[in-house]
Amino acid sequence: MQRFRPLAGRLGTDALLRVRSYYSAENPGAEKTSLLRSLCGLPSQISGEVHWGDRLWQDANRCHVPLYRRNLGMMFQNYALFPQQTVVEQLLFAADNSVRAQDASGSIRTGKTATRLPAHPFRRGQQQRLALARSLMRSPPLLLLDEPFSALDQDTRYRVLEWLGEEHRRKKFSLLAISHDPHDWRAFQPQHWKLQNGRLTDSATSHP
């Protein structure tokens, strides 16, 4: 069980995450991105606590485990791709594993774009798939995703969801996903949280 207690700013969230489970949070303007940022350790100060297992990551006094020492994968909505790197180079930057990089590149179907630079006119959906694959390269025990499928058409979304599900079955990681479309996650039987004005208002487990 992983715990995070009332966090920064307007957040008043207190919840437990079961290891190797899927979670999705809904409702626009509910401070969901702030929640992910707090779990990552991006705010320099928070008003509560963030734990991973029995280890304290951060509290109101200090950050005990900085971002670069937290073994997690994260994908925010701006993707944060490097303009000077190709698709494969982006993946290898996350983890120096050429076999896994080729596998991930094939899974997100980059095709001929694998040797192009992101500075070229990549479509938003291509950038989104690359950012997702990069977040999984190190096989982190915790994966944080902020609207990971918003730019994908229905067919591509289905394929990427299928790949993500297979990754989870093989790697056994916990996933916290921000999504305005809970139907995307039905196959994963996630626990849904509803956040309203930075507060956890509801929690329920959905079934397909």
In this predicted structure, what is the pLDDT of residue 181? 77
pLDDT tens-place string over residues 32-46: 777 788 888 887 777
- The secondary structure of residue 181, as a DSSP letter, is -
Closest listed residue to residue 111, CA positions, set 94, 130, 132, 85: 130
Neighbours of 154 (CB within 10 A): 8
Quote the strand ranges of 28-170, DSSP E: 50-52, 55-58, 72-75, 142-146
Sheet holding 22-26, edge to edge: 72-75, 142-146, 174-178, 22-26, 191-196, 199-205
In this predicted structure, what is the pLDDT of residue 119? 59
Mean pLDDT, the chain, integer: 78
Residue 21 banded pLDDT, cuts 50, 70, 90? very low
pLDDT tens-place string over residues 62-74: 999 998 898 899 9
Give the span between the Cα atoms of 206 and 208, in whole angstroms.
Answer: 7
